[in-house]
Structure formats: C-alpha cells, structure tokens
Copies of this chain bind each other. A is one copy, B any other.
Amino acid sequence: MFKPVKQNRIFQDVVEQIQDVIISGQLAAGEKLPPERELKETFAISRGTLREALRVLEQKRLIDIQLGAGGGAIVREVTPEVIVDGLSLLIRSQKIPLEYLKEFRLDIEGNIARLAADRASAEDVAGLRDILKRAKDSLDFHEGWEAYVDADACLHMTLARITGNTIYEYIQTAIHKNINRYYVEFLEHEESVLCHHYKDLCDIVDAVASGDGEKACDKMRLHLKRLGQ
C-alpha cells in the first residue's frame, strides 16, 4: 500500500523539475537550457549537484550536451529510441531466462512480419531481396559467418522499419544489436544449417512480397522456433 520514502536528494528534485518541463512541452526539442553557471543560481544549488542532475537527464536521453562557446544542454526529441537502453541492458546482461526472451521475440517478430507484409511497397520488397542476395553471396563465396549474421540482422531490422511503427523498429534494433552473443552458441556454422536458415528467410520475404500477412507471421515464427533448438 505504501512505498518506501526515498531520501531527499537535491539533484533528484532538479531532475524531476527539468524533466517535467520537457515532457510537458514547455521546453521543446532543440531548445537550449541556460548554462550551468546560470542554472545553478536559478535552483540555488552548487554546480556539482546540478551536474549530477544533468548526467541523469542525459542518460534518460532527454538532453544532449554540447561543448564550447554557445554549447550547453539541448532538449532532445523524445522518440521510441528511449526504450533501447533498457532493453539492450536486459539482453546483454543475460540475466533473463532465455525462454522469456524467445517467447517475446516470437510474439514481436511474428507481428512485425505480418504488418510488413500488409504494408510493404515495391521498393521495400526490392530492398529485402537485395539483403537476401547479400546473405546468399556470403554463403556462396564463403565470406564467413559474420557477413551472413549481418545480413540476417539487417533483414529483421528492415522488416521492422517497413511496418512504419517506430516502436517495433527500436525494439528490433535493441534485440539484434545485442542478441548475437546469445545465439552464437546455437546457430551451427555448418553449411547445411546455414542454407536451411537462408531458405527460411527467403520464405519470409516471399510471403511479405505476396502481401500475405498470416503466412509471413507463420513463417517467421517457424523460423525463430527452429533457431532456438
């Protein structure tokens, strides 16, 4: 019912005040906060304390700091990118049961495939086929594991971008920029396994190209399920 009372730290209060001003829109993206030496007077605190507050706001991606004359704290646009840090940390730490992550991916990526199929333009499909070609080349010319995984990640992220929903885009970014160390252990380097993997990708792109959302979703889920065993 009650929550533990947090110790009153001055910088926390400053963080909340500035954050409120930003997310309420009183300070729009691109606008600049006063210089540190002025802000510290406004809040009647020391510069060190103010700077601790600025570090927190920076970490939250609410401000950017620029150096030099005319520099200072600039209010950033709030975009779904703010979810990347937390999700990346979660994946990288490997402290989350793998089955949870797989379940979540199955859900998310299945829907991404479905939405992408519904919304892909001709150019989008062409872009996907280009990526497939990159993947195939890396197999044919034995460019190695790295090149193939790159193409694979690119394909998944491109599908997310095609949905147009930036939430999916950033979730996918966070996952694929951090998940390598997870499935580097599962995905065999064997040629035959990679070929099978590549075939899956082709099926998915074909489904997207034909605009069949359900099929794309199914193919993607099938693909991910195979990956995890």
By a beta-carbon cutoff of 8 Å, the part of chain A in contact with chain B is 7, 11, 22-23, 48, 51-52, 55-56, 58-60, 62, 67, 77-80, 82-87, 89-90, 92-96, 100-101, 103-104, 107-108, 111, 115, 165-168
Contacts and interface: CB of A to CB of B under 8 A. Distances in A.
Contact of A90 (B58, B67, B78, B96): B78
Given A52-B52, A89-B23, A104-B167, A79 B95 contact: yes
B96 A80 contact: yes
Number of copies of this kind of chain in the complex:
2
Contacts of A78: 89-90, 93, 95-96
Contacts of A104: 165, 167-168
A11 B55 contact: yes
B103 A165 contact: yes
Contact of A55 (B52, B67, B100): B52
> Could you say which of A22, A87, A107, A115 has the most chain B C-beta atoms within 10 Å of its C-beta?
A107
